[in-house]
Amino acid sequence: MDEERFLALCRAAGERVQPDNPGQLARTGEMELDGVRIGLFFDSTTDKGIHCYVDLGTVGESERARVFHRALALNLTLEGAHGESLAFDEESGRLVLRSLIRSGDIANGAQLAGAQLADWLRQYADFAHAFRMRLEDAASGLENASLLHARA
């Protein structure tokens, strides 16, 4: 894969998941899908594939131990095809789902591959919503029931 193919994939996926602004993903490497921020990055010097980061939300300092405990436990059960794992961006205070969509996992043909990438992005957005709900359900008995906040 090269930069041109990566941008073509982003455009094709954007047409499917963001029809009102299909070129945004290719222009910026970021998009919002069903209220979930997703970033895609490609490094042509390594050509390992597309690095994907899904923003799961901000974790308040007082809730980090509880959220990290759940995230680490969940990492053991993630069975994604792209090495998905949960991580914490210390600078921003945000929890993320990260994956590496390897070049060999992407179908040939820009439109077919774009549809495939769009499906994966939808699955990641669905995961983000389910993860947030799971944390909110777990927090219902706590004084501060908002463990994970959607991006403001």
pLDDT at 30 (0 to 100): 94
Q: What b/e readout covers 102-130, taking b as 16+ CB neighbours within 10 angstroms?
A: eeeebeeeeeebbebbbebbbebbebbee
Distance between CA atoms of residues 40 and 117, nearest Å: 11
Q: What is the pLDDT along the chain (152 residues), one digit of tens a residue?
A: 888 888 988 999 999 998 889 899 999 999 999 999 999 999 888 877 899 999 998 888 888 888 888 888 888 887 777 888 899 888 888 899 999 988 777 766 556 688 889 999 999 999 999 888 877 765 544 333 333 434 33
User: What pLDDT is recorded for position 51?
Assistant: 92
pTM of the entire predicted model: 0.82
Contact (Cβ atoms closer than 8 angstroms) between residue 14 and residue 26: yes
- Tens-digit pLDDT profile for residues 109-118: 556 688 889 9
